[in-house]
Amino acid sequence: MAFPFALSLFPKPFTKMSGNMNLTLKVWRQKNTNDKGKFETYKAENISPDMSFLEMFDVVNERLIVEGKEPIAFDHDCREGICGSCSMYINGRPHGPNNGVTTCQLHMRSFKDGDIIVVEPWRSAAFPVIKDLAVDRSSFDRIQAAGGFISVNTGNAQDANSLPIPKNDADESFAAAACIGCGACVAACKNSSAMLFVGAKVTQFALLPQGKPEATQRVLAMVNQMDAEGFGSCTNTGACSAECPKEISLSVIARMNREYLSAQLFAE
């Protein structure tokens, strides 16, 4: 009776292991920015529930390469939820069905065997598709370059008591600084508005003493650049904050509005 046991040590490569899943993917394929693009259907077989969504894509891509086909292009880098590279719009939601995570942190256990998964790139005039699921998010870089920084070197950390910062301000600033610039807010917004991103960047600096001297120019320049990039305006649906992997609060948009309006109305 040892024979069947020994066999089970060497499972056949393409049979489904217990608990593993077979899925159908409908993935947006687009050769380049000017290509029209279309959906292609792929089978993802024998997928472990412990894989991340990106690892599932790696499996599909390896098979495509073996078959001599073009692998699916998608953005990824750190794969631990802090770089903001991964950017898939999965089953109608940025970064998939779970809240507060990026696509690399989305695990296949969030899906069921036999599921059909629709994967699209971020869609926005300001985020042109480079290829397949990879989009050009340099519009965020240009907004950041317009004012999302402090012009002078702030030097070493000073003695903590020389620059008193209220705890609430420090916390709020830090929460805003958690933004990884992934663009899920733009992808989720029905107007492709970038206000959660810009609001987070404005808030992060506006609350701290190092950022205050340039707060006025900063908000004017960043909002100006945001509008120039072709993002839509805000309808306060809250979709951005609900889909943000870093759960940035809508209050950053109110702060940006406040900073912007008072800068326009009162700054000399």
Partner 1 sequence: MNWFTKMFNSSIGQKLIMALTGLFLCSFLIIHMVGNLQLFKADSGLAFNKYAVFMTTNPLIKTVSYLLYFSILFHAFKGIWLVFSNKKARPVQYAMVDGKANSHWTSRNMGLLGTIILVFVVVHMSNFWAEYKFGHVPYARYSEDIQTGEMLEVAEMPAGFTMANKMEEIIEGRVRTVIVKDLYKEVSVEFKEEWWLVALYVLSMAAVSFHLVHGFKSAFQTLGINHRKYNGLIHFIGVWFFGIIIPIGFAAMPLYFMFK
CB atoms closer than 10 angstroms to residue 256:
25
25 binds partner 1 (CB under 8 A): no
Count of chain residues binding partner 1 (CB under 8 A) = 50
Least separation, in Å, of the C-beta of 230 and partner 1? 6
163 binds partner 1 (CB under 8 A): no
Of 78-86, 133-141, 153-161, 189-197, the window that binds partner 1 (rule: CB under 8 A) is 189-197
Nearest CB to partner 1, comparing residues 158 and 236: 236
Joined tokens for residue 220: 């004017």
Which among 238, 245, 131, 136 has a CA at the least distance from the CA of 195? 238
112: burial class by Cβ within 10 Å (0-12, 13-18, 19+)?
A: exposed
Q: Give the CA-trace dihedral at 144, 149, 151, 153, to 10 degrees.
A: -140
Alpha carbon distance 265, 89 (integer Å)? 39
The angle subtended at Cα 123 by Cα 98 and Cα 218, nearest 5°, is 90
Nearest CB to partner 1, comparing residues 163 and 254: 254
What would you report as the CA-atom Rg of the chain, rounded to the nearest whole angstrom? 22
Least separation, in Å, of the C-beta of 234 and partner 1? 6
75: burial class by Cβ within 10 Å (0-12, 13-18, 19+)?
A: buried
250 binds partner 1 (CB under 8 A): yes
126 binds partner 1 (CB under 8 A): yes
- By residue count, the chain amounts to 268
Single residue of 19, 78, 80, 92 touching partner 1 by CB under 8 A: 92
265 binds partner 1 (CB under 8 A): yes
Phi, psi of 94 (to 5 degrees): -65, 135
Q: Which of residues 39-78 bind partner 1 (CB under 8 A)?
A: 39
24 binds partner 1 (CB under 8 A): no
Contact set with partner 1 (CB under 8 A): 26, 28, 37, 39, 89, 91-93, 97, 118, 120, 123-126, 188, 190-193, 195, 223-224, 226-227, 230-239, 242-243, 250-251, 253-261, 264-265
